[in-house]
Amino acid sequence: MKKREFKTESKRVLDLMINSIYTNKEIFLRELISNASDAIDKLYYLSLTDKKIKVDRKEFKIRIDIDEDKRTLTITDNGCGMTEEELENNLGTIAESGSLHFKEENKDQNDVNVIGQFGVGFYSAFMVSDKVTVESKSYLEEKATIWESSGVEGYTLSSSTKKDVGTIITLHIKEDTEDYKYSDLLTEYKIRSIVKKYSDYISYPIVMEVSNSRKKEDSDEYETYKEVVTINSMVPLWKKDKKKIKAEEYNNFYMDKFYDYEQPLKVMHFNMEGNVNFTALLYIPSHAPYDYYSKEYEKGLQLYTNGVLIMDKCSDLLPDYFSFVRGVIDTEDIPLNISRETLQEDKNLKLIAKNIESHIKKELLELLNKDRESYEKFYKAFGMGLKFGIYNDYGMNKDKIKDLIMFYSSKEEKLVTLKEYVERMKKDEENIYYASGESLAKVSMLPQVEKIKDNHEVLYLVDYVDEFAVMTLHEYEGKHFVNVSNENTDLSTKEEKEQVNKENTDNKDMLSKMKEILKEEVSSVKFTSKLKNHPVCLTTEGEISTSMEKVINAMPSDEKIKANTVLEINVNHKISNKLKEIYKKDMEEFTKYTKIIYFEARLIEGLPIDNPTEISNLMCDIMAK
């Protein structure tokens, strides 16, 4: 017999399970049955391509046995089984990626989240057992192995005489406590109801020996007898009649299958008949998985043909911008033993994908129109991905997504769609105004936003992808996007403009001098009437804004770009006259003022300052005067 210790992270998860305050302990059975079903799926799937593996689909089953005297519950399957090495790797450690993340990000999370998010399925057995034995024979090995553990101390491995391929998991059920009557788990009734509740749809028979009673022959007396019956209906949820499915069933199925601890935000269950036939059961999660915005996240739907799982994450079924959708597709129109390569080229698969995409879009629009609150919740979780979808592939898909995106509106003080913005526009207006920055608070305080928002709705762009998305869209219903921080954006009246032009001409020398002092930092310096109370702002000429400069330069590339900036000074602010005055009197002082003003403008834009000590010295010089 070999003794082993659990890996550190596994110990922590195990400890959580053993001392779990999690009330829904009965889900352990769902987890074990789901593993058994996966193992059968796997063996069947392998047998389709490997002639050496001989199986009879009719023989597949999962068996549950109760032994009240020994206080054991046994779950037996004839799936693929595990080799000794697999027993160690699969049951001795929790999945690498999960455990790493668990370590870094979830120190404070409670155990409920842990159960759901990391698929620590098997360990949930320890919520109800004080000892767990796994006896398994893999289709790959002649010998069989017994894995046994009584908790965090570790586990043992020993050899077994098991002859047929598959796995037997025996749980030694805990003694009753004040909080939980574990003995219930040793009753037929309880087990049947748990199976019915969580595992009814499992596509293999779950069998159990149950007691029945019948009338004795030639007598009025009754006798009890035992018989083995199938306790699940085996109809996959998506094949059931929609009208007969309760919301709870949809939700449980989702949480079980996709390891989510929260209910989904939306369920989509539909059939398609025509050029291609399929059934879809799709879900929109109510929150983004922890790895959603990372390279590790794998999109895809489970693909079944005729009730048999042929691919766990078929990525070709979903466009990237809808990668948050989880679910199942079942079709007769794709052959069972198709290879991954041929699948990608399959005409029917492409048709299905197209259908799914338009269905998801339709449902999202409906959610947007009928249940704004849920849509906003969805958008907060997945909106970034939609905006990337607009910008990616050179804007190829922008028209499909543009009605789904939202930005914060200065006027409504909430997220609004582009359609809503355009509908509110006055007749003769041409532009959709936006301003970008790091946060709503910062954008709303930009000097150039202050005046414009008195008369116009301004969209605040705060995600780094936003401006790129807007630039890719270019226009919406013929209305062009205009950056408030662009030098050209000036909504001053004709009189105001004339006044500013005059000031700019009259003070040409002074403004050129300022540009000379600031060197290549700015393209030009000028007076402006676009500001209300603030003294200065920094705008940009051309396509590249300062926010884009920040984003692009933060990317890991050698190519750095620079926005063409213009320093604009509020013509109606006291500082304008002051500048004119010093320009005539004291060039040294004028130089200091120019540098400080430019510094202020950068500070407001959230741009880095190369010479903070020089500037603070200059400021103190002036203050000390």
Q: Given the rule CB under 6 A, which residues bind ligand ADP? A: 31, 35-36, 39, 77, 79-82, 90, 119-122, 167
Q: Cα separation of 280 and 622, whole Å?
A: 71
With beta carbons less than 8 A apart as the criterion, state whether 454 and 436 touch: no
Amino acid (1-letter code) at residue 275:
N
Distance CA 305, CA 334 (A): 6
Euclidean distance between the first and final Cα of the chain, in Å?
87
Minimum distance from residue 28 beta carbon to ligand ADP (Å): 10
- CA proximity to 212, closest of 200, 193, 228, 236: 228
- CB-nearer residue toward ligand ADP: 121 or 447: 121
- Least separation in angstroms between residue 145's CB and ligand ADP is 12
Structure tokens at 618: 């200059």
**Cβ closest to ligand ADP, residue 6 vs residue 468:** 6
Of 120 and 482, which has the nearer Cβ to ligand ADP? Answer: 120
Using the minimum distance from each CB to ligand ADP, give the nearer residue, 36 or 435. Answer: 36
| In the complex, least distance from residue 152 CB atom to ligand ADP, rounded to whole angstroms | 16
Rounded to an integer, what distance in angstroms lies between the CA atom of residue 565 and that of residue 549? 11
> Cβ 553 to ligand ADP, closest distance in Å?
41
Q: How far apart are CB 97 and ligand ADP at their closest, in Å?
A: 11
Closest distance to ligand ADP from the beta carbon of 66 (Å)? 18
Q: Which is nearer to ligand ADP, 77 or 457 (CB)?
A: 77
Contacts of 74 (CB under 8 A, 6+ apart): 63, 64, 65, 66, 67, 168, 169, 170, 171
Q: How far is the CB of 252 from ligand ADP (least distance, A)?
A: 17
Closer Cβ to ligand ADP, 167 or 436, answer by number:
167
Q: How far apart, in whole angstroms, are the C-alpha atoms of residue 106 and residue 108?
A: 5
Distances (CA, A) of 295 to 301, 362, 550: 18, 28, 23
Nearer to ligand ADP, 208 or 482 (CB): 208
Instruction: Provide, rounded to whole angstroms, the least separation between the CB of residue 1 and ligand ADP.
Output: 21
Cα–Cα distance measured from residue 496 to residue 294, given in angstroms and rounded to the nearest whole number: 50
Contacts of 618 (CB under 8 A, 6+ apart): 592, 595, 596
* Amino acid identity for residue 170 in this structure: T
Greatest C-alpha distance within the chain: 126
**Minimum distance, C-beta of residue 46 to ligand ADP, in the bound complex (Å):** 12
E-only strand ranges, 300-457:
301-305, 308-314, 326-331, 406-409, 415-417, 431-436
Instruction: Report the nearest approach of ligand ADP to the CB of residue 547 (Å).
Output: 42
Q: Pairing mode, if any, of strands 129-137 and 166-173? A: antiparallel
In residues, how long is the chain? 625
CB of 134 to ligand ADP, least distance (A): 8
CB-nearer residue toward ligand ADP: 31 or 111: 31
What does the radius of gyration of the chain's CA atoms come to, in whole angstroms? 33
- The whole-angstrom separation of Cα 550 and Cα 606 is 9
Of residues 98 and 447, the one with the C-beta less far from ligand ADP: 98
CB atoms within 10 A of CB 27: 22
Q: Which is nearer to ligand ADP, 122 or 583 (CB)?
A: 122
Residue type, 429: E
Distance CA 534, CA 575 (A): 10
Task: Tell how strand 326-331 and strand 406-409 pair up.
Answer: unpaired
Q: Report CA-CA distances (Å) from 60 to 44, 200, 522.
A: 9, 16, 75
Q: Which two tokens stand for residue 550?
A: 């920040």
Q: Between residues 167 and 528, which has the closer beta carbon with respect to ligand ADP?
A: 167
Looking at the DSSP bridge assignments, the partners of residue 3 are: 156
User: Measured from the CB of residue 608, what is the shortest distance to ligand ADP in angstroms?
Assistant: 45
Measured from the CB atom, the residue of 162 and 239 that comes closer to ligand ADP is: 162
